[in-house]
Homo-oligomer: A and B are copies of this chain.
Amino acid sequence: MDTDKNHEINLQASEKQYSKNLLPSLSVNSVLFSYHNEALNVLLLEFAETDYFMLPGGFIKNDEDVDEAALRSLKERTGLNNIYLEQFYVAGKAGRTSDPVVLEYLEKEGYTTTAGWLNQRNVSVCYFALVSEKRVKPEIKENFISEYKWTDLQKLPQLLFDHYDIIQKAISRLQADIDQKLLFHNLLSEPFTMPELRKLYEAVFQKQFTRSNFQRKMLKRNILVRVGKKLEGRANKAPYLYKFKK
């Protein structure tokens, strides 16, 4: 009974998507990381002035690779072209998109349950992206989105759906890949100093690294080139500047 009814609802919503040449029941979500103020930040969107936040996402066109869809939706949102993007997870739980906060809001505002993309069955292919600070100017044009903000990972607000879990999985994957794939150069603007690089690692792994050993380890990998000295007005020895070796 009840499942039959839900099925009808899904079918209708799905046909709407098809009419726009979009794959039904499927979407992408992106965990967009930046490094700012010595902390790892993530881009969040506020849902309808509820103080609840969510990850940016988008749908997939019929004739478009899923990877392309992720790149396109980020480009549309941030204007950025050369973003490092990595697929890391599929969120596929059946009930993942029925969030009480959203349902209550829709009911209060008089939306029918077929109103939009919010509460139908949805499987999401999740990506994380790395961007240098300040390169991004997000734009909000979607329905239900009232605001965006960069949030320190240690101070996450309340998140809708399963987006908290998705963020945690993104962090795990970033930690696993940052060394192997040398991802850090997507988060720092060149040139950078060794202490800056170390603090980035400390933000990513949420732990301290011994200063001297960290420097030795990075230098031994032969992936950095010194490009001079940093002459800052600080009461200490000026650190060297480094660039990432191509």
State the A residues within 8 Å of B (CB). 3, 6-7, 10-11, 14, 18, 21, 23-26, 60, 62-68, 87, 89-90, 92-94, 121, 123, 125
Contact of A90 among B62, B64, B125 (CB under 8 A): B125
8 A-B pairs with least C-beta separation: A66-B92, A65-B93, A23-B25, A90-B125, A65-B94, A63-B94, A11-B18, A90-B90
Residues of chain B within 8 A of A64, CB atoms compared: 94
Residues of chain B within 8 A of A6, CB atoms compared: 62-63
Most buried by B among A14, A23, A92, A121: A92
Q: A11 — nearest CB in chain B belongs to which residue? A: B18
The 13 sampled A-B contact pairs (Cβ below 8 Å) are A10-B18, A14-B18, A14-B24, A23-B121, A25-B26, A26-B26, A60-B123, A64-B94, A65-B92, A66-B90, A67-B92, A90-B90, A90-B125
Contact of A92 among B24, B93, B94, B125 (CB under 8 A): B125
- Distance of A177 from chain B, by nearest CB (Å): 11
- Distance between Cα atoms of A18 and B10 in the complex (Å): 9
Q: A68 — nearest CB in chain B belongs to which residue? A: B94
Q: A23 — nearest CB in chain B belongs to which residue? A: B25
- Distance of A180 from chain B, by nearest CB (Å): 10
- Distance of A19 from chain B, by nearest CB (Å): 9
Residues of chain B within 8 A of A18, CB atoms compared: 7, 10-11, 14
Most buried by B among A23, A26, A67, A93: A23
**Would B62 and A121 count as touching, CB distance under 8 A?**
yes
- Distance between Cα atoms of A180 and B99 in the complex (Å): 34
Residues of chain B within 8 A of A3, CB atoms compared: 62-63
- Distance between Cα atoms of A123 and B92 in the complex (Å): 13
Residues of chain B within 8 A of A92, CB atoms compared: 60, 65-67, 125
- Distance between Cα atoms of A23 and B125 in the complex (Å): 15
- Distance of A140 from chain B, by nearest CB (Å): 27
Q: A25 — nearest CB in chain B belongs to which residue? A: B23
- Distance of A235 from chain B, by nearest CB (Å): 45
Q: A61 — nearest CB in chain B belongs to which residue? A: B94
Residues of chain B within 8 A of A65, CB atoms compared: 92-94
- Distance of A63 from chain B, by nearest CB (Å): 5
- Distance between Cα atoms of A92 and B125 in the complex (Å): 9
- Distance of A173 from chain B, by nearest CB (Å): 11
